[in-house]
Amino acid sequence: MSTRKHLEPGPAHPITVTPTDGEVVVRVGDTVVARTTSALTLQEADYPPVQYVPLADVAPDVLQPSGTRTWCPYKGEASYWSVSVDGTDLPDSAWGYPDASPAVVRIAGHVAFYPDRCPSPSGEQRPAGFR
């Protein structure tokens, strides 16, 4: 029996999942690791919005499963992936919720990338949207 607490979004902690307008491109250095027009924007409470990219729109062989797991009472258990590009491994640089809770079930089958762990060509940190 799980002792993890499940919470429902509400007025005190709202969560919305909406289609992202336009294209989302994720780069590591000069390499495009994901490109999609089917991203979802998750807006949770006062946190910055996060872009979730369909796994089908991530370059093959870029994501390597990690043993890292975390728990969010609103979204469920997160799985992590290392991003591997041109012989460089970026540990736990992407995450997703394969069995997302009902409130955010639309993000199942999607991953998000940490902007500070996936550096762009000039090394600047990009916003979560990677546009």
Residue type, 31: T
User: In which band, very low, low, confident or very high, does the pLDDT at 126 lie, cut at 50, 70 and 90?
Assistant: very low
Q: Is the pLDDT of residue 130 over 80?
A: no
Task: Check residue 106 and give its pLDDT.
Answer: 98
pLDDT tens profile 53-105: 999 999 999 999 999 999 999 999 999 999 999 899 999 999 999 999 999 99
Domain ranges of the chain: 15-113
CATH homologous superfamily, domain 15-113: Domain of unknown function (DUF427) (2.170.150.40)
| More confident: 131 or 69 | 69
Q: Is the pLDDT of residue 109 over 90?
A: yes
Least trusted range by pLDDT, from 27-36, 72-81, 105-114, 120-129: 120-129
CB distance 42 to 15 below 8 Å: yes
Q: What is the pTM (predicted TM-score) of this model?
A: 0.88
Q: Which of 54, 120, 56, 63 is nearest to 92 (CA)?
A: 63
Q: What is the CB neighbour count within 10 angstroms for residue 8?
A: 11
What percentage of the chain has pLDDT greater than the value 70? Answer: 89
